[in-house]
Structure 1
Amino acid sequence: MNKHPSRLLRRPLAVALLVALVAPGAAFAQTAREKALEARVAELERQVQLLVSGQQTQQTQISETQTQITEVKTATAATAAAPADGKPKIQTAPILPAGNPGSVFTYGGFIKLDAMVTDTSDGRIADGSSGRMFYVPSTIPVGGPAADGGDPYTDFHAQFSRFWLSADHVTEGGDKLKGFVEMDFFGGGSNALAGNEIATNTYAVTLRQAYVSWNKWLAGQTWSNFQDTAALPDAVDFVGVTDGTVFVRQAQVRYTSGPWSVALENPNTTMQAYAPNAAAAGARTTTGDNNVPDLTARYNMKGDWGHFSVAGLLRQFKSGDNTDSGGAVSVSGKFNLGDSDDIRYMGNYGSGIGRYMAFGLGSDVMQDASGDIEAMNGWGGFVAWRHVFNPKLRGNLMYSAAAFDNDVALVGWGVTERSQSYHANLIYSPLPKLDIGAEIGWGQRSLEDDREGDLKRVQTHVKYSF
């Protein structure tokens, strides 16, 4: 069947119009989708860029912080190695590597030069004797009317220079620990040339104190609990008031609670040998036979007025199978008389007090013909007045004495009955911790037969404490 030509023409035209209308829409839809995708991609790229940028910033900050930490450490190390004065520090590691962490280490002492001229009436004190270094009453020669001390003699020495070390620690629980050791150079030499005045004047280090304390307990060597070191006067001599002073350092175990302290201390007995009515004293011996420690107890009172202390001592004496016992009491203190003056004092009395007083001027016990021993009574004391003229100058006046009740029927007439001494000094401190002192002293030792020997001494010292 033939179709009309107009229909045939309209059909292609309709198709063309349809294509013309649909094609732009499809193209438009494709373009919108692509744009949306492009927009999303662009947003993702932006967010990634922000993340990368943030990470780079963070990394930069970390690097800068690390650099700053390194700089601080370097500066700290430099400061430690080079303090303000520009000198390098000796200490670059823990000073107590084997000690408790956090322990505090301290060090101190003094350098002391002593120079003295001595004049004795009844013979010379032997060179090298302790009596040539400081006042020791038992070394004063007593030789009777015919004795001659000769010309005065001079001694210089630095043996009493001293140093100490201390390590203190407080635990997390509040417990207090302390280790302390103190030494000087008075005690002899360590080789053939040591301890003499020929060439080197070399002297050995000697132990003074060595103890550990924890809270209220102390164990080791230190001053006897029977001794009040706080009452000692300000002397140029090592002690000054030696005659009437309790003076002992020894091993012990001590407990302190408030003003009270008790201790068990190393026992020892000094014995005067049996020598009935002899003109010369019999030998004095020291025994290590004791099996009961010395018991000491002390009570202290302190205030703005000064301090007061009273102490007691109980002892066993033993020589072989022979024993005796004794006891003593000591009262001491310091009384302030205003800002510039004070009085210091000590009084001691007891049975068998000999070893504890005046560096053993008297014996603890006497021996009879059968070998039995008997404790000997003794007493002693001192008084000292200290006056401060100004912040740099001070002075002291001192008197000291001791006596012993010897039975001459047992020990003879040649033993020491008593001693006494006077001392006066001036001490000048031109710079902090530096003392320059001068002291004059007179001492006397008397025997039971009334023979006496005198000592006169002028002593100076230069002392720097640190």
Structure 2
Amino acid sequence: MEIIKKTIVSTLIFGLGLSSIGLAQSEDRTDSIRKDSLNLIKKIVPEGDRKENNLLNTGTDLIDESFVGSWPMFGTDLRMKVGGYFKADFVGDFNGTLDNSQFLMSTIPVEGQPEYGNSGYVNFFAKESRFNIDVRRIEQGKVPLKLFIEGDFFNDETRFRLRHAYMVVGNFIFGQTWTTLSFLEAMPNMIDFAAGDALYGGRTVQVRYQKKVNEKILLAVGLEQLSFLGIENPDELVGKAIRKMPLLALRMDYSWKTGILFMGGSVAQLAWDGGLNGISPNALQINGAIAGRQYYSGKRGYFTFGMSYGQGAGENIIAFAGSNANAVLSANGLKTIPALSSSLGLNFKWTDQWASNIHYAYGWLETPADRDPFALKRGGIGHLNLIYNPIKRISTGLEYIWGAQRTTNDSFGRASRLQFMTKFEF
């Protein structure tokens, strides 16, 4: 397996070198330009550099008479479009990570676990493939409306799974979609499904008001379902984690011709219900986040960054979701856990058909000693890829992924894998 690993990584590096030679020889450098999620005039955004293809616009930004690919719903003032993509993936894992379809920090085996030292394996799957329906009313003089539903099959049983289900009425968003503080533009284009492992955010049900103040500034405020309560109960005290209030999130986007900056914060309440015989403490969850994207060399590429820090908000970082990373319960009450995430990324377009992305994400928790000894304490994951678009809508690529994690008891593990994909977007 080690020989295969070295051979494939060498091939990837060699491919990057050949692409750079091709760039030096190329005389015709054309590119397509479209507007980003803020729909700002003269914004430099190369086609196909987003992880999500559907933009969450509100208000007059929805008024786009072209609505490419849509058709009228006869007898109504609505138009409908179907979209999505098919994606086939091949994974060659070198260290036996515990999830065979996405590379997560928490699934890297560490010293002391029975899985540590596992052999590598291969896996083929197509469950990231997704399908969506987009219905809009975009007539001038009427309140803009949108209904969007999307699902994929990314679970162990490859059953249909709901990703997005929301409606837009003017400047209001109701339903399930990316949280207010999910800054997707702060990531380059990666093949691994868990590419945003240190991304702050995720998807949840919410009510959000989102409006452009001018051509540079967008403001948003959201009330959201706290998806992961995240309370560790090492002493097995009676009761359960509950929700008493929604999460409140505030966000501002500031955009200029060659870049965009995101800033925001959130506050929520963590609560435990001990019933008649137990304790019922509360704690404050608070977090701040900043992220951005800056283009360079015209439309040839961009770099990205993101950072978040909070108290009791560890599970809002995707890498820690579902691991009881917000607080620890004891007889003295709830003790919140400080959490940090950071990431850096770089995209470069070698030619009109070849592009590369590199990204590194890091997550950290200041965990108390009484937390689960093998719970994720800190870790980092890197991605390096080469993606080829031979024709419009078709892409294929190769990505090398590496990472490491350290657990509460200071056990350490590292792993790597290679992932190849072919994708058709519609």
Q: Same fold (TM over 0.5)?
A: yes
Indicate conservation of the 8 Å contact 1:136/1:358, yes or no. no
Alpha-carbon shift at residue 422 of structure 1 (Å):
1.7
Q: Distance in 2 between matches of 1:287 and 1:427?
A: 47
What letter corresponds to residue 255 of structure 1 in structure 2?
Answer: Y
Task: Determine helix, strand or coil for the equivalent of 1:355.
Answer: helix
Partner of 1:154: 122
Partner of 2:270: 317
Q: Deviations over 1:182-227 (max 9, x none)?
A: 1111134xxxxxx2xxxxxxx2111000011111101000000011
Alpha-carbon shift at residue 141 of structure 1 (Å):
1.7
Cα distance change of structure 1 residues 271 and 146 upon mapping to structure 2, 3 Å threshold: closer
Q: Distance in 2 between matches of 1:216 and 1:148?
A: 50
Q: Which has the higher contact order (CA 8 A, sep 6+)?
A: 2
What letter corresponds to residue 445 of structure 1 in structure 2?
Answer: Q
Q: Does 1:107 pair with 2:74?
A: no
Indicate conservation of the 8 Å contact 1:241/1:399, yes or no. no
What is the 5 A alignment of 1:41-440? 96=73, 101-120=76-95, 124-126=96-98, 131-144=99-112, 148-170=116-138, 173-188=141-156, 195=157, 203-242=158-197, 244-258=198-212, 259-267=218-226, 268-274=228-234, 289-320=242-273, 321-338=280-297, 339-360=299-320, 363-370=324-331, 372-408=333-369, 410-411=370-371, 413-440=373-400
Give % identity. Answer: 22
Partner of 2:50: none
Cα distance change of structure 1 residues 357 and 236 upon mapping to structure 2, 3 Å threshold: same
Output the TM-score relative to the length of structure 2: 0.75
Q: Deviations over 1:403-433 (max 9, x none)?
A: 001111x326433210111211000111111
Q: Deviations over 1:116-174 (max 9, x none)?
A: 01122xxx444xxxx21111111212233986433210111000001110110146742
Indicate conservation of the 8 Å contact 2:224/2:246, yes or no. yes
Bigger Cα Rg: 1
- Structure 1, unpaired ranges of 5+: 1-93, 189-194, 196-202, 276-281
Task: Determine helix, strand or coil for the equivalent of 1:225.
Answer: coil
Q: Report the count of equivalent residues.
A: 342
- Structure 2, unpaired ranges of 5+: 1-70, 213-217, 274-279
What is the CA RMSD across the aligned residues, in angstroms? 2.4
Indicate conservation of the 8 Å contact 1:269/1:286, yes or no. no
Q: Distance in 2 between matches of 1:118 and 1:237?
A: 12
Indicate conservation of the 8 Å contact 2:233/2:330, yes or no. no
Indicate conservation of the 8 Å contact 1:141/1:453, yes or no. yes
Indicate conservation of the 8 Å contact 2:110/2:116, yes or no. no
Alpha-carbon shift at residue 346 of structure 1 (Å):
0.6
Q: Distance in 2 between matches of 1:425 and 1:310?
A: 28
Indicate conservation of the 8 Å contact 2:109/2:115, yes or no. no
Task: Determine helix, strand or coil for the equivalent of 1:134.
Answer: coil
Alpha-carbon shift at residue 181 of structure 1 (Å):
0.4
Q: Which structure is higher in helix share?
A: 1
What letter corresponds to residue 354 of structure 2 in structure 1?
Answer: L
Indicate conservation of the 8 Å contact 2:344/2:359, yes or no. yes
